[in-house]
């Protein structure tokens, strides 16, 4: 299969001199790329390895024709193909050829670099070359998969892709990753069940962990739930001990009522500024530090009793009041009151009732704290879609239409009704309850969410069970499109609810109208199984509302340089191979901030993220990809324009031999290329994406084999 070819390099020597040359002097010998001319087109010996990917690639193009063509590309010294290039034997083919053919560079024509660039870099290194003398031609995702019915077209496109990759590989240089020390500390943002689990795992692994939560207490949505499917455990019973563990863990520094304000730095050395919002109440430890004997808040609640300002309690989804000085529920961690300064009238009654404990400071201001961490985990969770946008279901218009989260609080023993499910309009016990599934999910109208919210089928089954159990004679009617009971013991739970008497109607609810006299609701739908319209009168409607990312997620993710999907869910580095990582090294994802997940999946993802985040910390040192910018000082006019353009503050002007020149902080540079594309003097050299390399690729594309 393997064939050696006569290089046609002589015929196609580079036509023009490029004015871009690598920096002559480098700060450290190890990082210095050789001048770009050191691997000239004449000297380069490139090996091309074409992957079949089973039939993924080979089924859509003529591999022998691509191979024959590759032999004619200038600088190509060796061409081979293999069924699965990423397999051990496939990598062995590359290894062997590097040694036997004295290759100076490697091109693998296969899938996306996102999937296997690291694999082939390792193979290149094992063959004895610098791992950055490797280039990938994507002939799968960008070719065979999209042109599977055009054999001829995809064959030609593969030839182009390989020719372009060879042009770059011919000019690649040795590069050396930079090693940086990793701070022995981590940060977790968001303290729902995901953030708490991740923080506990990190802390138990001996890592100092800062847990930042924007609300006054940890716990997140799970603390609002009554029971959890499919085991029907009491949510608070399993969550509260974990909350207490988090509050007590010596390695966890809990920062509630706080937000991340700024992030600087890179993996190993993130400098994070946290805004601690003015809480107006100090802890007992703070009291002690201020020399107040027996001072600080002990959670006695005297202040709450006297406070005259009443506001809706967010934890109870507005169905119960709270005061301007408050805790949202009795199990809060930390047990520390908070003043809502947006509604406080500063009457001072709370200060008087607090007395000698002197825990209240009505003049408190936001404080900013700086910490250094090696890695960070985002676990910012989710919010409920404002389902009132779907006006056809009458939420916020009809009193007896509630959301599932409101249902959780209404059925919960610690909720606003002490666990008695009632109709909000008259306090009566309902006899017929309609559950509207996919309320705002799987909705392509532009007025909802196109995705499945993943846990609402299951919690609606749980709700149906709860009313059958609690209210004898009450019948739950579930209007559904499909029941998605995909988890362990979930399908069995679905059958159980059917056996218990839950009624299932397959069809999307078109409209809900209230009978003004009785406040009953008419639910209109099409029963798509019996093929007939439905008009059902019920006492109460529960909307299984879609979920969406938390409001502040966008701001927070930008601080950490994390991408998001079109729907705003945070984006993992790779959905299959790196589901907890992000494209920012050292930043990981846990829980629903990444996309809807039930509690078991949330906890599993949190454990994965904690494990991934602890690896660099335990190693103590990480290597940064050497894709940073470099300054060709002779060309730099010291204009400083690039300094302001760099989004990562990696550039500065420094004084050298009586003039100003630009200097790069390599560890901060993300290799985005903004400065390189801008510099009017061509003074910036982008490692691995240098102008001559890119120009060679453009030439190879535009001029074909005639370059």
By CB neighbour count within 10 A (0-12 exposed, 13-18 middle, 19+ buried), where does 419 fall? middle
Which residue, 581 or 676, has its beta carbon nearer to ligand FAD? 581
| Cα 22 → chain centroid | 37
The position carrying tokens 């009554």 is 226
When CB distances are held under 5 to 8 angstroms depending on the partner's kind, the choice from ligand FAD, ligand SF4, none that residue 597 binds is ligand FAD
Quick one: which segment of 24-32, 93-101, 284-292, 591-599 binds ligand FAD (CB under 6 A)?
591-599
Residues in CB range of 401: below 8 A, 6 or more apart = 393, 394, 395, 512, 521, 541, 543
Total number of residues that touch ligand FAD (CB under 6 A): 38
Full 3-state SS string of 419-464: CCCCCCCCCCCCCEEEEEEEECCCCCCCCCCCCCCCCHHHHHHHHH
Quick one: which segment of 156-164, 219-227, 577-585, 612-620 binds ligand FAD (CB under 6 A)?
219-227
Output the smallest distance, CB 390 to ligand SF4, in A: 13
Taking the C-alpha atoms of residue 349 and residue 362, their distance in angstroms, rounded to an integer, is 11
**Residue choice 44, 162, 263, 592 for contact with ligand FAD (CB under 6 A):** 592
Question: Using CB under 6 A, which residues numbered 350 to 389 contact ligand FAD?
Answer: 379-382
**Element at 407 (helix H, strand E):** helix 404-411
With contact defined as beta carbons under 8 Å apart, do 517 and 398 qualify? no
Please state, in angstroms and as integers, the Cα–Cα distance from residue 449 to each residue in 444, 549, 645, following that order. Answer: 7, 11, 36
With contact defined as beta carbons under 8 Å apart, do 620 and 181 qualify? yes
Q: Does 195 bind ligand FAD (CB under 6 A)?
A: yes
When CB distances are held under 5 to 8 angstroms depending on the partner's kind, the choice from ligand SF4, ligand FAD, none that residue 298 binds is ligand SF4
Taking the C-alpha atoms of residue 108 and residue 51, their distance in angstroms, rounded to an integer, is 7
Which residue, 298 or 417, has its beta carbon nearer to ligand FAD? 417
**Residue choice 109, 222, 332, 474 for contact with ligand FAD (CB under 6 A):** 222
Which residue, 100 or 482, has its beta carbon nearer to ligand SF4? 482
Output the smallest distance, CB 320 to ligand SF4, in A: 17
Taking the C-alpha atoms of residue 554 and residue 562, their distance in angstroms, rounded to an integer, is 9
DSSP secondary structure letter of residue 374: S
When CB distances are held under 5 to 8 angstroms depending on the partner's kind, the choice from ligand SF4, ligand FAD, none that residue 123 binds is none
**Residue choice 33, 220, 415, 616 for contact with ligand FAD (CB under 6 A):** 220
Please state, in angstroms and as integers, the Cα–Cα distance from residue 118 to each residue in 86, 101, 107, following that order. Answer: 10, 22, 13
Whether the link from the prior residue into 334 is cis, omega within 30° of 0, is: yes
Output the smallest distance, CB 555 to ligand FAD, in A: 7
Q: Does 209 bind ligand FAD (CB under 6 A)?
A: no
Q: Does 550 bind ligand FAD (CB under 6 A)?
A: yes
Q: Does 213 bind ligand FAD (CB under 6 A)?
A: yes
Which residue, 28 or 644, has its beta carbon nearer to ligand SF4? 644
**Residue choice 36, 77, 94, 225 for contact with ligand FAD (CB under 6 A):** 225
When CB distances are held under 5 to 8 angstroms depending on the partner's kind, the choice from ligand FAD, ligand SF4, none that residue 303 binds is ligand SF4
Quick one: which segment of 34-42, 146-154, 350-358, 590-598 binds ligand FAD (CB under 6 A)?
590-598
Tally of CB atoms within 10 A around 601: 17
When CB distances are held under 5 to 8 angstroms depending on the partner's kind, the choice from ligand FAD, ligand SF4, none that residue 454 binds is ligand SF4
Which residue, 416 or 591, has its beta carbon nearer to ligand FAD? 591
Question: Using CB under 6 A, which residues numbered 295 to 334 contact ligand FAD?
Answer: none
**Residue choice 591, 595, 626, 676 for contact with ligand FAD (CB under 6 A):** 591
**Residue choice 141, 388, 552, 623 for contact with ligand FAD (CB under 6 A):** 552
Angle at 339 between CA 338 and CA 341, to 5 degrees: 145
Whether the link from the prior residue into 143 is cis, omega within 30° of 0, is: no
Output the smallest distance, CB 596 to ligand FAD, in A: 8
- B/e letters for 2-14, b = 16+ CB within 10 Å, e = fewer, are eeeeebebeebeb
Q: Does 192 bind ligand FAD (CB under 6 A)?
A: yes
Please state, in angstroms and as integers, the Cα–Cα distance from residue 384 to each residue in 262, 328, 387, 436, 673, following that order. Answer: 27, 19, 8, 15, 39
What's the alpha-carbon Rg for the chain, to the nearest Å? 31
Which residue, 292 or 371, has its beta carbon nearer to ligand SF4? 292
Residues in CB range of 482: below 8 A, 6 or more apart = 457
Output the smallest distance, CB 310 to ligand FAD, in A: 23
Output the smallest distance, CB 261 to ligand FAD, in A: 10
Quick one: which segment of 186-194, 439-447, 533-541, 676-684 binds ligand FAD (CB under 6 A)?
186-194
Q: Does 68 bind ligand FAD (CB under 6 A)?
A: no
3-state secondary structure of 259: strand
With contact defined as beta carbons under 8 Å apart, do 338 and 280 qualify? yes
When CB distances are held under 5 to 8 angstroms depending on the partner's kind, the choice from ligand SF4, ligand FAD, none that residue 602 binds is ligand FAD
Taking the C-alpha atoms of residue 520 and residue 344, their distance in angstroms, rounded to an integer, is 39
Q: Does 609 bind ligand FAD (CB under 6 A)?
A: no
Which residue, 75 or 328, has its beta carbon nearer to ligand FAD? 328
Output the smallest distance, CB 390 to ligand FAD, in A: 17
Taking the C-alpha atoms of residue 629 and residue 207, their distance in angstroms, rounded to an integer, is 33
Taking the C-alpha atoms of residue 105 and residue 302, their distance in angstroms, rounded to an integer, is 75
Q: Does 221 bind ligand FAD (CB under 6 A)?
A: yes
Q: Does 274 bind ligand FAD (CB under 6 A)?
A: no
Q: Does 261 bind ligand FAD (CB under 6 A)?
A: no
Residue 252 backbone phi and psi in degrees, to 5: -105, 125
Output the smallest distance, CB 556 to ligand FAD, in A: 4
Output the smallest distance, CB 221 to ligand SF4, in A: 15
Output the smallest distance, CB 577 to ligand FAD, in A: 22
Output the smallest distance, CB 648 to ligand SF4, in A: 4
Residue of 283, 290, 192, 42 lying closest to 599 (CA atoms): 192
Output the smallest distance, CB 149 to ligand SF4, in A: 19
* Chain residues in the site for ligand FAD (CB under 6 A): 189-195, 212-215, 220-222, 225, 228-229, 259, 379-382, 404-405, 408, 455, 459, 462, 550, 552, 556, 591-592, 597-600, 602
């Amino acid at each position: 299969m393997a064939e050696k070819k006569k290089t046609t390099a002589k015929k196609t020597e580079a036509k023009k001199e490029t004015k871009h040359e690598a920096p002559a002097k480098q700060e450290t010998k190890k990082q210095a790329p050789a001048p770009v001319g050191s691997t000239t087109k004449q000297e380069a010996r490139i090996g091309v390895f074409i992957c079949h990917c089973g039939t993924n690639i080979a089924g859509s193009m003529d591999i022998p024709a691509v191979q024959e063509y590759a032999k004619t590309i200038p600088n190509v010294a060796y061409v081979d193909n293999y069924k699965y290039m990423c397999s051990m034997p496939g990598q062995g083919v590359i290894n062997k050829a590097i040694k036997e053919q004295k290759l100076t560079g490697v091109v693998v024509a296969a899938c996306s670099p996102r999937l296997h660039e690291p694999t082939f870099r390792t193979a290149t290194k094992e063959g004895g070359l610098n791992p950055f003398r490797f280039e990938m031609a994507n002939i799968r995702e960008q070719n065979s998969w999209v042109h599977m019915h055009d054999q001829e077209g995809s064959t030609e496109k593969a030839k182009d892709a390989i020719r372009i990759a060879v042009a770059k590989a011919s000019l690649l240089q040795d590069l050396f990753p930079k090693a940086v020390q990793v701070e022995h500390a981590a940060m977790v943002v968001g303290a729902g069940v995901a953030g708490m689990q991740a923080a506990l795992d990190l802390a138990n692994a001996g890592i100092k962990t800062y847990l930042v939560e924007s609300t006054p207490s940890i716990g997140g949505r799970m603390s609002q739930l009554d029971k959890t499917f499919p085991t029907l455990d009491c949510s608070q019973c399993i969550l509260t001990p974990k909350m207490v563990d988090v509050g007590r863990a010596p390695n966890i520094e809990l920062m509630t009522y706080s937000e991340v304000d700024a992030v600087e730095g890179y993996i190993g050395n993130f400098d994070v500024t946290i805004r601690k919002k003015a809480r107006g109440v100090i802890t007992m430890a703070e009291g002690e530090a201020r020399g107040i004997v027996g001072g600080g808040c002990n959670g006695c609640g005297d202040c709450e009793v006297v406070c005259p300002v009443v506001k809706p309690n967010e934890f109870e989804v507005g169905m119960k009041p709270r005061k301007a000085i408050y805790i949202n529920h009795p199990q809060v961690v930390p047990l520390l009151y908070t003043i809502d300064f947006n509604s406080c009238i500063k009457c001072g009654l709370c200060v008087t009732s607090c007395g000698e404990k002197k825990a209240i400071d009505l003049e408190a201001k936001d404080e900013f704290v700086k910490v250094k961490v090696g890695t960070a985990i985002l676990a910012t969770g989710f919010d409920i879609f404002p389902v009132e946008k779907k006006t056809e279901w009458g939420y916020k218009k009809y009193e007896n239409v509630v959301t599932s989260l409101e249902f959780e609080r209404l059925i919960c023993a610690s909720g606003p009704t002490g666990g008695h499910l009632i109709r909000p309009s008259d306090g009566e016990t309902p006899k017929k309850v309609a559950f509207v599934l996919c309320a705002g999910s799987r909705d392509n109208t532009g007025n909802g969410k196109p995705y499945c919210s993943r846990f609402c089928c299951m919690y609606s089954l749980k709700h149906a069970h709860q009313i059958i159990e609690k209210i004898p004679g009450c019948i739950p009617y579930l209007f559904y499109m499909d029941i998605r009971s995909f988890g362990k013991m979930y399908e069995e739970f679905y059958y159980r609810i059917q056996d218990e008497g839950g009624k299932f109607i397959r069809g999307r609810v078109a409209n809900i109208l209230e009978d003004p006299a009785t406040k009953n609701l008419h639910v209109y739908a099409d029963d798509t199984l019996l093929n007939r319209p439905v008009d059902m009168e019920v006492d109460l409607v529960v909307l299984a509302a879609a979920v969406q990312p938390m409001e502040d997620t966008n701001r927070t993710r930008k601080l950490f340089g994390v991408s998001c999907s079109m729907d705003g869910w945070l984006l993992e580095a790779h959905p299959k191979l790196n589901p907890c990582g992000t494209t920012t090294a050292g930043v990981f994802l846990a829980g629903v901030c990444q996309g809807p997940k039930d509690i078991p999946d949330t906890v599993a993802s949190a454990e994965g993220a904690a494990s991934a985040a602890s690896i660099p910390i335990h190693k103590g040192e990480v290597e940064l990809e050497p894709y940073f910018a470099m300054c060709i000082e002779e060309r730099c006019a010291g204009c400083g324009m690039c300094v302001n353009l760099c989004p990562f503050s990696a550039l500065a002007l420094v004084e050298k031999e009586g003039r100003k020149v630009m200097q790069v902080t390599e560890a901060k540079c993300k290799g985005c290329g903004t400065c390189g594309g801008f510099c009017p003097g061509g003074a910036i050299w982008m490692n691995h994406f240098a102008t001559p390399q890119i120009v060679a690729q453009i030439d190879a594309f535009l001029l074909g084999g005639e370059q």
